[in-house]
Amino acid sequence: MVFNSLPFAVFFLILFAVYFIAPLKLRRYVLLLASVVFYLFSGLENLPFILLALLAAYAASGKMGALYDKMELEIKKGKLEGAEKAELTRTYKKRCKRYLVPAIIFIVGMLVLSKAGTLIARAVGDYAENGGDIIRVIVPLGISYYTFSLVGYLLDVYWRKMKRVSDLSLLALGVFWFPQILQGPISKYSQLIPQLEKPARFDWDRICSGLQLMLWGYFKKLVIADRLSVFVTTMFAADKDLSKTPAYILAAGLFLGAMQLYADFSACMDIASGVSEIFGIKLPRNFEQPFFSKSVAEFWRRWHVTLGTWFKDYVYLPISTSPRLIHIMAFVKKKINARVGRAVGTAIPLFIVWLLTGMWHGTGWNYVLWGLYYGTIITLTTIFAPEIKKLNKALRINTETQAWRVFQSVRTVILFCVGRLITMPATLKDSGAALSSLVSARQWFLAKGSFLSYGLDGAGLAIALSGVALMLLVDKLQVSGSVREKLRQQNVVFRYLIYWAAIFVIIFLGIYGPGYERVQFTYMNY
Amino acid sequence: MSNRWKNVVKAAVFCLPLILYAFIFIKYEPYNYWGLRDDLGDTVSAVTVIRRALRSDCKNIVIGASKMANLDTDDLIKMGLTDEKWTNLSFNGASVSEECELLRYIIDSGKDVKKVTILTSFWSALVTSGVDRVKTAIDEIALDPAGYVFSPNSHVEAFNAFLNTNLAKKTSGSTETYKDNVTRIWTNAMESNKYAVSWENKLIEVVKYCKERNIEISIGALPLRQEVFEFIRKYGREDELHFYKEVLSEVTEFYDMEYEESAWTDSTEFIDSMHFKGYDQLTDENFSEEHPVLMDVLSVAFKKEGQEVKRLNHSLQMEEVFKINNLNLPADGESHFYSAPINLEPDSIYLVSIKGNVGDIDAKAKYMQFYVQHYSDYYNSFTELSKSDDNMTFWVYSDIDDNYWAVIQTGDLITDDYNFVIKYQSKSGDEEDAAKAVDLQIEELGIYRYSGFDSQREAEKTERMGLDDILDSVFDHGGKKAEFLKEFFEDESILSAENIQLPGDTGELQQWFDTIRLDPNSTYLVACQGDLTEAKISSETFYIDCFTPYYSQHYNSIEEYAASVDSVSFVPSRLPGTDDVYWMVFDTGDLTFDTFAFRIIYQGTQGLNIDWLDVYKLS
């Protein structure tokens, strides 16, 4: 059940009514039941995986929690302090590790198996020229998202950043929470669970605010993303020889592809956050106007924020602060110099993070390359930041001007589009073909082509481009302060006019209903 | 006011335009989906009538095109024309094919249909559309209310209807005079459309379908305005006008209101060349005086007692071309053949009539087959010779003559000398079939050519270069490559290749190609000679397509560019001594480019060896 479907509309309306009619005490269970029903719409075969992951995390966190409780008791009883307390803590941590490691291996193992299984099935299918029908691999809905959340939860309990969740139904609600199971965000249970525990009362303003966010999400999805999707999928279809596509059309396709992805993904986040807000739960923000970033590193801090935060908290920081890496840095420093030692200390965790990020996004070699692409850019810009600063100074570039900021944003967008070039075409060979067109002067200046040959007519393209302009304008306004807050300060007539306009634009210009193939949210199958 | 009430007021105010819009949508939605619209406006679509059918018991159905689409059948009871409730499934622009499809869908959907009246006209015979709106309506909208509501197109159309009804300035209408309108549409209809028996066969099929299910079915031909008959005469199409009625009246009860001598052609009773005035005044007291033509049409169609119906009594001009008497082929399990020479002409209509103990021909089709055969190496059914869009031939049992007959139409024939063959084998391995086996006893089998169209055909023949001419110019009877006659081709061959060899033993796809320049809207002939034994077995294993090596991102087959898609596969030359000579003719449509690659893609177990291959543009 996707957000842009009729069943979801019916599901949401029923849940809304039942939730606010139900007694406060029962509301949490209403949400749990609704979330399980929502998940079951993806197929019964997915259920065992998520249940097993939930039970494994619950059991391991329970054991760890019990051990830490026992430890606290011993510390209290023995009034331990200093070295004794530290020794006892180390001992208990070690014991906890016995539960932590198998649980993580089990939960992550299911994710790895489903990803690897897809690769194997594809390889077998290709070998047998049978389209991969020989082996059927189940990729449970939202497996990447709940796996990451549960691993984060286990590590937080292990590191004693949060207490274990002793109520299974509460943890289950966190895992199954339907607005975020499709595409995230990857919530930290330390922030999510306390909100889920507390039932929400009917609050007009909060509900309106949630609906407002949903409306903006539907506008981006139905008017912009699904319309651009027609253009982009036609251009990058598997049978297209991209080396023959005029470079200016290809460049426009890459830009629109980036906009389509942003509109699609951020739309889903807005709908998910809007729905959650209606039920009194604030999900973490996943996008912070990424296309106005000054560098690629900043871009990735503002794009899919929760994934970046997860990798930072649970991969980057543990690696960069690990004794092993510090030893390596010290060794390099001793053998070469301190600068190179620091560079190694920067490069190793960054490359590991970006390799894993690439593999999280997809199972092909192009995703590995994609991860290396960003790993290289971010590592180099981090290591050579002093040189870049010196160069700017030498060239007398005033980095404080508006023009420079615009240049930085455009440069970031171009680098992002180049990154998309690696994953958008069907194969790496196609990516190469597209690149050959983009670097060919003939393809820029002599090749003939039409923007209207990619599934959208003039009106469709105009609507899509207007939508993109509006989306970027709202983002630009958001940079200087909350647009929703500004809207809230307007008088009711103006606000309602905006809402009505958005509703009727979706009704008349949206891509939905029979005759249109419903486009799934892009990040749904991770 | 408490906060709660404030919120209720806020919600109500917010929802007000949305509720208002919901009312506008329901009032102006394009298909009267829920039957809530009072006035359907000028357009009644396939979706509208399917939804109407779903709401109705459909005991009695009247079906037709725009001429009947605006009829409110509830008024018929008020008018006293009938006591029964009828469901009108006529929609604007309906082709006969769509009407038949819709009718079958309604019958198959389990409705207890008792009586069907199909109201058609000569216009439907001439102007047919390849669009299948019934299928689209069923597949996409008619059965999916949620899909309908959640479709931007529905909303845009409803909004347009709202604007047109309430806000658009009333214009005085088209400045085109009535006479100009008739001239334009009928001139176009006459000049652009050939008569095809396929549409009659569709009606015959649906009549059979109804009769097998004990559904009473009748067909009526609706009146045309006086001036239209002048056009029909001017273009020499009167015989066609009579022919379809003659054929259909053999099949079922047929009411003819479409003849020049009738009072129903009164020009004042039409809004254009064929649509009636007065649908909005059916229940007016003096309706029958003000609109006598529509009154009569409805009276005939709904069979008010005492109404005199003029039956067609036009004798067809049939010329006997073949006859067999007393042919007996025994039911002994062996395969029996009967063969005799027959001359067939291109673009002609033939009636095949069989009398005798032949049982149910359709049921026996797998054991008894009628062929026309050309020389000894190739069999053709009649339909294979036909150029009509769909090759349906229905054997119809005629109550009047106690015999079976079928109407067939030939297309471009490569020769006029054929053999007529009957192949009969009474038994198969199926015991039940074997028990039913009877001797085939044909008392009389006649094939008659309908000569009524000859004057028109003769005129066309002089303009058209037949395939016979093309073949004679391309091949000599020795099977060798001949010198092409300059008058048939603009230039020398535009592509010429020799010794094309594609190995087949590896089982891999093999490809050969060369560049070729093609002009839009032109006809090309591809001829080749070689060992295509295996390739000719299936058109899928040997085909030629074109793709542009420049600019375009994907391959395009000739079909994609072709205005006509019925002639793109290779056929053997069929001329004596030309066993290894093949040719095909293809037409290009509007081409985006002029440079293509001419490809042969072959995958087979034997090698493909082409001695020579030439492509010519036909002048």
Q: Do A513 and B156 touch (CB under 8 A)?
A: no
Q: Which residue of A has its CA nearest to B154?
A: A508
When CB atoms are compared, the residue of A204, A447, A512 closest to B152 is A512
Closest CA to A117 of A137, A140, A133: A137
Q: Do B154 and A244 touch (CB under 8 A)?
A: no
What digits encode the pLDDT tens for the residues A63-93? 999 999 999 888 888 877 778 888 888 899 8
The average pLDDT across B421-428 equals 69
* pTM value surpassing 0.80: no
Which segments of B497-602 does DSSP mark as H helices, in order?
A: 558-561
Check: CB of residue A171 under 8 Å from CB of residue A154.
no
Chain B nearest-CA distance from A390, in A, is 46
Beta bridge partners of B371: B421
Per cent of chain B over pLDDT 90 is: 5
pLDDT band at B540 (very low <50, low <70, confident <90, very high): very low
Task: Please report residues of A whose CB lies closer than 8 A to that of B550.
Answer: 244
Q: Is B13 on the interface with A (CB under 8 A)?
A: yes
More confident residue, B331 or A367: A367
Q: Tell me the HSE value of A388 on the side-chain side, using a 13 A CA sphere.
A: 8
What pLDDT, on the 0 to 100 scale, is given for residue B454? 58
What pLDDT, on the 0 to 100 scale, is given for residue A409? 92
Q: At what angle do helices A402-423 and A247-278 cross, to 10 degrees?
A: 100
The average pLDDT across B223-251 equals 82
Task: Please report residues of B whose CB lies closer than 8 A to that of A513.
Answer: 147-148, 150-154
The average pLDDT across A117-141 equals 63
Check: CB of residue B7 under 8 Å from CB of residue A204.
yes
Residue with the two structure tokens 């001797």: B439
| Number of neighbouring beta carbons within 10 Å of residue B341 | 10
CA distance A163 to A521: 34
What pLDDT, on the 0 to 100 scale, is given for residue B563? 29
Give A193-222 as a DSSP string. HHHHHSPPPP-HHHHHHHHHHHHHHHIIII
CA distance B301 to B309: 10
What pLDDT, on the 0 to 100 scale, is given for residue B466? 46
Cα end-to-end span (Å), chain A? 16
Task: Convert B269-300 to b/e letters by CB count within 10 Å (16 or more is b).
Answer: bbeebbbbebbeebeeeebeeebbbbbbbbbb
When CB atoms are compared, the residue of B152, B159, B553 closest to A513 is B152
Mean pLDDT of chain A: 86
CA distance A144 to A182: 10
What is the arrangement of strands in the sheet containing B349-357, beginning at the earlier edge strand?
A: B318-329, B440-450, B349-357, B403-409, B396-398
Closest CA to B448 of B587, B301, B318: B318
Beta bridge partners of B502: B608
What pLDDT, on the 0 to 100 scale, is given for residue B390? 35
Q: Which residue of B has its CA nearest to A443?
A: B551
More confident residue, A402 or B375: A402
Check: CB of residue B318 under 8 Å from CB of residue B419.
no
Tokens matching residue B494: 């535009």
Mean pLDDT of chain B: 71
Q: At what angle do helices B96-108 and B198-212 cross, to 10 degrees?
A: 20
Q: Is B475 helix (H, G, I), strand (E, B) or coil?
A: strand
What pLDDT, on the 0 to 100 scale, is given for residue B462? 39
Q: Is B18 on the interface with A (CB under 8 A)?
A: yes
pLDDT at B434 over 90: no
Q: How many CB pairs under 8 A join A and B?
A: 58
CA distance A413 to A289: 12
CA distance A258 to A416: 8
Chain B nearest-CA distance from A231, in A, is 14
What pLDDT, on the 0 to 100 scale, is given for residue A158? 92
pLDDT at B488 over 50: no
What pLDDT, on the 0 to 100 scale, is given for residue B42? 60
CA B346 to chain centre: 19
* Residue A512 zone, left/alpha/beta (φ > 0; ψ -120 to 50; rest): beta
The CA-based angle A464-A468-A474, given to 5 degrees, is: 145
The average pLDDT across A409-420 equals 92
The average pLDDT across B43-66 equals 88
More confident residue, B346 or A51: A51
Closest CA to B352 of B123, B197, B184, B175: B197
pLDDT at B314 over 50: no
What pLDDT, on the 0 to 100 scale, is given for residue B557? 36
Per cent of chain B over pLDDT 70 is: 62
Check: CB of residue B547 under 8 Å from CB of residue B531.
no
Cβ-defined contacts of B31-36 (< 8 Å, 24+)? B31/B141, B31/B148, B31/B154, B33/B145, B33/B148
* Residue A111 zone, left/alpha/beta (φ > 0; ψ -120 to 50; rest): alpha
Give B329-358 as a DSSP string. E--SSSEEEEEEEEE--TT-EEEEEEEEE-
What pLDDT, on the 0 to 100 scale, is given for residue B375? 39
Q: What ipTM does the predicted assembly reach?
A: 0.73
CA distance B515 to B517: 7
Which segments of A242-364 does DSSP mark as H helices, in order?
A: 247-278, 296-302, 305-311, 317-320, 323-335, 338-361
Give A105-137 as a DSSP string. HHHHHHHHHHHHHHHHHHHHHHHHTSTT-SS--
Summary count for chain A: helices (H), strands (E)? 24, 0
**DSSP collapsed to 3 states, A66-95:** HHHHHHHHHHHHHCCCHHHHHHHHHHHHHH
